[in-house]
Amino acid sequence: MNIKATKGDGGNVEASLWIKSARNKGISVHIPSGNGLTNVIRDQRREISAYIPGLAGIPLLEERRSKMIVERLAAAGDANTVLRNVLNLLKNMDINGQNGLSLVRDYVSQIMGEFTLNVEFDEERDSRIRASFQTTPMKVADHRRFKPLELAGIGFLRVIQILSYLVYFRPILLLVDEPDSHLHPTAQEMPIAVLSEAAQLFGTQVILGQPIVRR
């Protein structure tokens, strides 16, 4: 397969690599020596790849964890168990001159409609991260009404998860399993456009585990 990557200096590198089944039923990757991709992979300033698995919900409570633990759990496939932690990290992150959490909110709004996403954690008093949301209909009914994030629909959570991990990690290669699962049919095509926009901004190649059929 061919892969394109962006180097630390902003330049691009394109290379070929081979992926095959290994003897222990795992996967082995072979990159020819002298390949420009090798230096990109070794660059600790950026993730080479990220995988976003399916989502069946998030825990009712989530302890605040260190950045290293959050990234380790996310890399191990436990993405749903640290979603609030990722959102909290994004809240305090500047990405291309824009707040990370605001960027996620803007992307999600393009798919699910305008909404507000709040993440609260006080270093002095809290051990758990609180996250809540408000949609436009909720705001119209009562501007003070917010719901805990764990009460959001699976489709809503799924979109937040995908875009949060894309914005946080900004990997060279992003693999997304069933990006349109649990979404209303009228919204199932939107992730493609938004993912394309975000991927172009971050220089990320996105591979979908399930193609989305355009109607």
pLDDT digits (tens, 9 = 90+) for 183-198: 555 555 666 788 788 8
Q: Report the pLDDT value the prediction gives residue 25, as an integer from 0 to 100.
A: 56
Average pLDDT over residues 16-30: 61
Quick one: which of 60, 57, 157 has its CA closest to 117? 157
pLDDT surpasses 60 at 8: no
Of 56 and 2, the one with more pLDDT: 56
- Beta strand segments in 98-167, E: 98-99, 115-120, 130-135, 147-148
Domains present along the chain, CATH in parentheses: 1-46 (no CATH), 47-208 (3.40.50)
Residue 175 pLDDT > 90: no
pLDDT for residue 209 = 67
Average pLDDT rounded to a whole number, residues 34-63: 71
